[in-house]
Amino acid sequence: MLVIPAIDLRGGKCVRLQQGDPSRETAYDGDPVERAKAFVAAGAERLHAIDLDGAFGSGENHDAIARICRAVDVPVQTGGGIRTLEHAKARLRAGAAYVILGTLLTQDERAARNVVGALGERAIAGIDARGEFVAVRGWQESVAIGRDALVRRVAAWGVKRVIFTEIRRDGTGLGFDIDGLRAVANAAPIAITASGGASTLEDLKRLRREAPPSVDSCVVGRALYEGTMELAEAIAAVA
Protein backbone atom coordinates (compact mmCIF):
# COMPACT_ATOMS: atom_id res chain seq x y z
CA MET A 1 0.00 0.00 0.00
CA LEU A 2 1.30 3.42 -0.98
CA VAL A 3 1.47 6.15 1.68
CA ILE A 4 1.08 9.59 0.09
CA PRO A 5 2.01 12.65 2.19
CA ALA A 6 -0.29 15.66 1.85
CA ILE A 7 0.79 19.24 1.26
CA ASP A 8 -2.23 21.54 1.62
CA LEU A 9 -1.44 25.05 0.45
CA ARG A 10 -3.00 28.29 1.62
CA GLY A 11 -1.28 31.60 1.08
CA GLY A 12 1.78 29.75 -0.17
CA LYS A 13 2.24 27.88 3.13
CA CYS A 14 1.58 24.34 4.32
CA VAL A 15 -1.54 24.22 6.46
CA ARG A 16 -4.05 21.72 7.78
CA LEU A 17 -7.74 22.39 8.26
CA GLN A 18 -9.81 20.36 10.68
CA GLN A 19 -12.79 18.86 8.82
CA GLY A 20 -12.15 21.33 6.00
CA ASP A 21 -13.07 24.36 8.10
CA PRO A 22 -10.97 27.38 7.05
CA SER A 23 -11.48 28.93 10.49
CA ARG A 24 -9.76 25.91 12.10
CA GLU A 25 -6.42 26.24 10.36
CA THR A 26 -3.00 25.27 11.64
CA ALA A 27 -0.03 26.61 9.65
CA TYR A 28 3.15 24.53 9.64
CA ASP A 29 5.75 25.61 7.08
CA GLY A 30 6.79 28.80 5.38
CA ASP A 31 8.35 26.91 2.45
CA PRO A 32 6.37 23.92 1.17
CA VAL A 33 9.22 22.97 -1.16
CA GLU A 34 11.44 22.03 1.77
CA ARG A 35 8.60 19.97 3.23
CA ALA A 36 8.13 18.19 -0.11
CA LYS A 37 11.84 17.40 -0.34
CA ALA A 38 11.84 16.07 3.22
CA PHE A 39 8.92 13.77 2.45
CA VAL A 40 10.74 12.37 -0.58
CA ALA A 41 13.95 11.94 1.41
CA ALA A 42 11.93 9.90 3.93
CA GLY A 43 10.74 7.55 1.18
CA ALA A 44 7.59 9.08 -0.31
CA GLU A 45 6.92 7.75 -3.81
CA ARG A 46 4.16 10.26 -4.57
CA LEU A 47 2.99 13.60 -3.16
CA HIS A 48 -0.51 15.02 -2.76
CA ALA A 49 -0.56 18.83 -3.21
CA ILE A 50 -3.85 20.68 -2.80
CA ASP A 51 -4.49 24.37 -3.53
CA LEU A 52 -6.94 25.29 -0.78
CA ASP A 53 -7.21 28.88 -1.98
CA GLY A 54 -8.22 27.54 -5.39
CA ALA A 55 -10.76 25.21 -3.80
CA PHE A 56 -12.30 28.08 -1.81
CA GLY A 57 -12.20 30.44 -4.81
CA SER A 58 -10.10 32.91 -2.83
CA GLY A 59 -6.86 32.80 -4.81
CA GLU A 60 -4.35 30.29 -6.13
CA ASN A 61 -1.04 28.61 -5.29
CA HIS A 62 0.07 27.69 -8.81
CA ASP A 63 3.64 28.92 -8.34
CA ALA A 64 4.07 26.93 -5.12
CA ILE A 65 2.82 23.76 -6.81
CA ALA A 66 5.17 24.33 -9.76
CA ARG A 67 8.12 24.78 -7.39
CA ILE A 68 7.23 21.56 -5.57
CA CYS A 69 7.03 19.64 -8.84
CA ARG A 70 10.42 20.97 -9.96
CA ALA A 71 12.05 20.15 -6.64
CA VAL A 72 11.16 16.45 -6.41
CA ASP A 73 11.61 13.41 -8.64
CA VAL A 74 8.40 11.61 -7.69
CA PRO A 75 4.91 12.06 -9.19
CA VAL A 76 2.77 14.85 -7.74
CA GLN A 77 -1.03 14.64 -7.77
CA THR A 78 -2.68 18.00 -7.38
CA GLY A 79 -6.19 19.40 -7.00
CA GLY A 80 -8.08 22.42 -5.73
CA GLY A 81 -9.56 24.99 -8.07
CA ILE A 82 -9.46 22.92 -11.27
CA ARG A 83 -12.59 24.07 -13.09
CA THR A 84 -11.67 23.67 -16.78
CA LEU A 85 -9.50 21.56 -19.07
CA GLU A 86 -7.11 24.50 -19.37
CA HIS A 87 -6.76 24.63 -15.56
CA ALA A 88 -5.93 20.92 -15.60
CA LYS A 89 -3.40 21.30 -18.40
CA ALA A 90 -1.78 24.22 -16.58
CA ARG A 91 -1.12 21.94 -13.58
CA LEU A 92 0.41 19.33 -15.88
CA ARG A 93 2.59 21.97 -17.53
CA ALA A 94 3.70 22.97 -14.05
CA GLY A 95 5.03 19.44 -13.63
CA ALA A 96 2.18 17.55 -11.97
CA ALA A 97 1.68 13.95 -12.99
CA TYR A 98 -2.02 13.80 -12.09
CA VAL A 99 -4.86 16.27 -11.57
CA ILE A 100 -7.66 15.77 -9.08
CA LEU A 101 -11.17 16.86 -10.05
CA GLY A 102 -13.56 17.66 -7.23
CA THR A 103 -16.18 20.39 -7.54
CA LEU A 104 -16.15 20.09 -11.33
CA LEU A 105 -17.52 16.53 -11.12
CA THR A 106 -20.92 17.77 -9.97
CA GLN A 107 -21.00 21.42 -11.08
CA ASP A 108 -20.17 20.97 -14.77
CA GLU A 109 -20.48 17.39 -15.97
CA ARG A 110 -19.65 18.29 -19.56
CA ALA A 111 -16.40 20.00 -18.56
CA ALA A 112 -15.48 17.16 -16.21
CA ARG A 113 -16.00 14.56 -18.90
CA ASN A 114 -13.96 16.70 -21.26
CA VAL A 115 -11.03 16.65 -18.83
CA VAL A 116 -11.32 12.90 -18.29
CA GLY A 117 -11.54 12.29 -22.02
CA ALA A 118 -8.49 14.43 -22.72
CA LEU A 119 -6.27 13.28 -19.86
CA GLY A 120 -7.32 9.68 -19.31
CA GLU A 121 -5.71 8.08 -16.26
CA ARG A 122 -4.02 11.37 -15.37
CA ALA A 123 -7.43 12.62 -14.20
CA ILE A 124 -8.40 11.44 -10.71
CA ALA A 125 -11.79 11.95 -9.06
CA GLY A 126 -11.66 13.51 -5.61
CA ILE A 127 -14.90 12.54 -3.87
CA ASP A 128 -15.37 14.13 -0.47
CA ALA A 129 -18.40 13.35 1.65
CA ARG A 130 -20.01 13.71 5.04
CA GLY A 131 -21.56 10.29 5.33
CA GLU A 132 -23.36 9.69 2.05
CA PHE A 133 -23.57 13.38 1.11
CA VAL A 134 -20.97 14.87 -1.25
CA ALA A 135 -19.48 18.29 -0.47
CA VAL A 136 -17.79 20.66 -2.94
CA ARG A 137 -16.09 24.08 -3.12
CA GLY A 138 -13.59 23.33 -0.40
CA TRP A 139 -16.21 21.23 1.43
CA GLN A 140 -18.33 24.33 2.05
CA GLU A 141 -21.37 23.28 -0.04
CA SER A 142 -23.38 20.06 -0.27
CA VAL A 143 -24.79 18.74 -3.53
CA ALA A 144 -27.77 16.60 -4.43
CA ILE A 145 -25.89 13.58 -5.77
CA GLY A 146 -24.85 10.97 -3.23
CA ARG A 147 -21.37 9.57 -2.69
CA ASP A 148 -21.92 6.13 -4.18
CA ALA A 149 -23.89 7.45 -7.15
CA LEU A 150 -21.05 9.85 -7.95
CA VAL A 151 -18.53 7.00 -7.80
CA ARG A 152 -20.62 5.05 -10.31
CA ARG A 153 -20.95 8.13 -12.52
CA VAL A 154 -17.23 8.90 -12.75
CA ALA A 155 -16.38 5.24 -13.30
CA ALA A 156 -18.77 5.24 -16.27
CA TRP A 157 -16.87 8.25 -17.67
CA GLY A 158 -13.65 6.26 -17.61
CA VAL A 159 -12.09 7.52 -14.36
CA LYS A 160 -9.72 4.86 -13.01
CA ARG A 161 -9.06 6.19 -9.50
CA VAL A 162 -11.03 7.89 -6.73
CA ILE A 163 -9.55 9.65 -3.72
CA PHE A 164 -12.23 9.26 -1.08
CA THR A 165 -12.29 11.51 1.97
CA GLU A 166 -14.72 11.24 4.86
CA ILE A 167 -14.79 14.91 5.86
CA ARG A 168 -16.00 14.25 9.40
CA ARG A 169 -12.76 12.37 10.09
CA ASP A 170 -10.33 14.65 8.27
CA GLY A 171 -7.83 16.17 10.67
CA THR A 172 -9.41 14.46 13.67
CA GLY A 173 -7.11 11.48 14.13
CA LEU A 174 -10.06 9.11 14.42
CA GLY A 175 -8.79 6.74 11.72
CA PHE A 176 -10.06 6.03 8.24
CA ASP A 177 -13.75 5.43 7.53
CA ILE A 178 -13.54 1.73 6.70
CA ASP A 179 -17.31 1.37 6.23
CA GLY A 180 -17.35 4.30 3.83
CA LEU A 181 -14.46 2.81 1.88
CA ARG A 182 -16.31 -0.49 1.60
CA ALA A 183 -19.36 1.33 0.23
CA VAL A 184 -17.25 3.18 -2.33
CA ALA A 185 -15.54 -0.06 -3.36
CA ASN A 186 -18.91 -1.76 -3.80
CA ALA A 187 -20.23 1.10 -5.92
CA ALA A 188 -17.89 0.52 -8.87
CA PRO A 189 -14.75 -1.42 -9.86
CA ILE A 190 -12.28 1.42 -9.41
CA ALA A 191 -8.97 1.97 -7.60
CA ILE A 192 -9.35 3.88 -4.34
CA THR A 193 -7.06 6.10 -2.32
CA ALA A 194 -8.23 6.53 1.27
CA SER A 195 -8.01 9.94 2.92
CA GLY A 196 -9.06 11.57 6.18
CA GLY A 197 -8.43 10.59 9.77
CA ALA A 198 -5.09 8.79 10.00
CA SER A 199 -3.18 9.50 13.21
CA THR A 200 -1.11 6.44 14.11
CA LEU A 201 0.58 3.47 12.49
CA GLU A 202 -2.27 1.32 13.78
CA ASP A 203 -4.69 3.35 11.63
CA LEU A 204 -2.64 2.42 8.57
CA LYS A 205 -2.35 -1.21 9.57
CA ARG A 206 -6.10 -1.42 10.13
CA LEU A 207 -6.67 0.12 6.72
CA ARG A 208 -4.48 -2.49 5.05
CA ARG A 209 -6.06 -5.27 7.09
CA GLU A 210 -9.76 -4.36 6.80
CA ALA A 211 -10.25 -2.23 3.69
CA PRO A 212 -11.25 -3.81 0.37
CA PRO A 213 -8.43 -4.85 -2.00
CA SER A 214 -9.21 -1.93 -4.33
CA VAL A 215 -7.96 0.46 -1.60
CA ASP A 216 -4.29 0.43 -2.58
CA SER A 217 -3.06 3.75 -1.17
CA CYS A 218 -3.74 6.40 1.44
CA VAL A 219 -3.17 10.11 1.97
CA VAL A 220 -1.70 11.17 5.31
CA GLY A 221 -1.39 14.77 6.46
CA ARG A 222 -1.75 16.13 10.00
CA ALA A 223 -0.17 13.06 11.63
CA LEU A 224 3.08 13.69 9.75
CA TYR A 225 3.13 17.40 10.62
CA GLU A 226 2.36 16.90 14.30
CA GLY A 227 4.67 13.94 14.78
CA THR A 228 2.18 11.25 15.75
CA MET A 229 3.47 9.27 12.77
CA GLU A 230 6.87 9.17 11.06
CA LEU A 231 6.69 8.78 7.30
CA ALA A 232 9.46 6.19 6.97
CA GLU A 233 7.81 4.04 9.64
CA ALA A 234 4.39 4.46 8.02
CA ILE A 235 5.71 3.35 4.65
CA ALA A 236 7.37 0.29 6.22
CA ALA A 237 4.26 -0.58 8.23
CA VAL A 238 2.07 -1.10 5.16
CA ALA A 239 4.66 -2.00 2.51
Strands (E), the chain: 2-10, 13-17, 25-29, 47-51, 76-79, 98-101, 123-130, 133-136, 141-146, 161-166, 191-195, 215-220
Q: What is the pLDDT of residues 137-195, one digit of tens each?
A: 766 677 878 999 999 999 999 999 999 999 887 776 789 999 999 999 999 999 999 99
Burial 211-227 (b: 16+ CB within 10 A, else e): beebbebbbbbbbbbee
Contacts of 121 (CB under 8 A, 6+ apart): 160, 161
The number of folded domains in the chain is 1
Rama region for 227: left / alpha / beta (φ>0; ψ in -120 to 50; rest): left
Q: What is the pLDDT of residues 32-66, one digit of tens each?
A: 999 999 999 999 999 999 999 988 887 889 999 99
Compute the distance between CA of residue 181 and CA of residue 35 in angstroms, rounded to an integer. 29
pLDDT band at 197 (very low <50, low <70, confident <90, very high): confident
Domain, as residue range, for 40: 2-238
Catalytic center residues: 8, 128
CB 185 within 8 A of CB 192: yes
pLDDT at 80 over 80: yes
Compute the distance between CA of residue 108 and CA of residue 93 in angstroms, rounded to an integer. 23
Q: What distances in angstroms separate CA 177 from CA 30, 40, 170, 209, one per listed residue? A: 31, 27, 10, 13
CB 151 within 8 A of CB 190: yes
Residue 115: give its domain's CATH number. Answer: 3.20.20.70
